[in-house]
A and B are shown apart, each in its own frame.
Chain A
């Protein structure tokens, strides 16, 4: 039970190109900013959006390959889909909703209903079996949608932002429930979310999707330890610098130079933690092991005892200083400032 996809799709302003492999029994989270193409990618896998080029193979079955004119309709793919707004059928009872996938595949009514009841019990919605979906709460609707998708015993379960439609209060408890139900499911699961907490709580592996490209794949720990995209860097709260390393110096596209400790030459990422940046008004004459860049203060955000300072310049950075330091420096947006970091405080790894 594997999924192997290598696809390209142009949809409106989105240019999506992605390679994806999912192992049997694995839950992969697709994480990324809005507009990255996560939902579109999911729809491609589900057969709701035909791809322009490439190939999607599900369990040795080629479900989409434009080159050979093969396309398997969604109703013929062994998938289950949980939509962002759940999309339960308003004109049927909850039980009929859950039984729908079985009935549409010609399962006799009595058998389908029996299986549906079992599923409703599993997700704790037995007493709502004969009610209409509109009488369910947000969390209950999500469970019903999940039961409906799982009742057909799919090989691949696709979940599109399953918690996004819930308010913050119910989200954690529903997330816990979802985790419990997903753990018992043996097939492959792909979950799309913009909330890293979901990825952390539910996923085995994470794929970061940004502007139509998969920029990083790995466990959440691996990904956050070595960010390879602005998105992840922002998530973790560090500065990410991209450039070419040569002779102990990393040069960015903008021309800024970063002196670093020992590192492999070639295209690389550098991570600078905000607290490791010192801010001074006058440049300091230091050793070659210290970096200094000049910039302009863009914004100052006080967060209790800590202050986040956004700096524009040849090398844009976010620094973190204490409130006391802020008072001492009397920093205002628009002021010129010098930012300084020790080479040994910068972590570098190949791109």
Chain B
């Protein structure tokens, strides 16, 4: 019996490499399977549509989207600065801005506390002069999430900018385009895959943020209780509900990641601006 090889399904990995890759896939799939196995399917809908679950979900989505937006608005100029402008201490600045990636989130939360809390370095003036406090507010949640999520975007976009052939921007300028016009029509489209990838990473990180949120912003349903916090607390008293909420969070993230097709992440092996795959 002859085996026909269909185009696109050729597996050209050596067996040991394939085995390791399969182990990795199982490693990631197992916890998800575990959750699905323990999920109380009969009560699932009741748990999902319970008011405080929906409130937590809505809050999570709103805050994470805001955090992503802020990450893009501030992160892209920062990435530009780090990629294009040579200044003394650039390495230090870069390390500083991406520090929160390696910091345990709770430590990040505590640090934000001492900076922006009611008695914080800057926070005390916000309180005294503007009667404005960040902890215990939804804005505080957004701040905490942005703090941990932005570096993901900065790193991705900076790498893409560095790989860009700057001479294309030269060409644009000789054609009469201002720096902004060049950025808009030449640079931005070229780094689009990296920008999208970075934004998605930032969003996912913001959505899942727990430690910094609970330390800095606190926990109150409707204002600061995001999904991860709700899941954590539910785990203590009602594990079944916790599982259902966790699965919901996973389902949403999964849908977004799958929905963003390969295409958006850049043609593999072809584009010089590809960062992931």
Contact = CB atoms under 8 A, between A and B. Distances in A.
Interface in A38-95: 46-48, 73-77, 79-81, 83, 85, 87, 89-92
A104 B181 contact: yes
A87 B177 contact: no
A152 interface: yes
A58 B168 CA distance: 24
Given A83-B167, A104-B181, A91 B189 contact: yes
Contacts of A77: 174
Given A89-B186, A91-B189, A83 B177 contact: no
A148 interface: yes
B190 to A, nearest CB: 6
B16 interface: no
A87 B186 CA distance: 11
Given A89-B186, A91-B190, A104-B181, A152 B175 contact: yes
B98 interface: no
A109 interface: no
A91 B181 CA distance: 15
Nearest to A158: B174
B43 interface: no
Contacts of B168: 87, 89
By size class, the interface of chain B is 10 to 19
Contacts of A83: 167, 170-171
Contacts of A85: 167
Nearest to A91: B189
* Interface SS, B side: helix
B174 A100 contact: no
Interface in A309-323: none
Given A83-B167, A89-B168, A73 B173 contact: yes
Contacts of A149: 174-175
A79 B174 CA distance: 7
Nearest to A78: B176
A122 interface: no
A37 interface: no
A105 interface: yes
Nearest to B190: A91
Interface of B: 165, 167-168, 170-178, 181, 185-186, 189-190
Given A87-B171, A89-B172, 9 more contacts: A74-B173, A75-B175, A75-B176, A83-B171, A87-B168, A100-B175, A104-B176, A104-B185, A149-B175
14 contacts: A75-B174, A75-B177, A79-B174, A80-B174, A80-B175, A83-B170, A87-B168, A89-B168, A89-B171, A89-B172, A91-B186, A100-B185, A104-B176, A105-B176
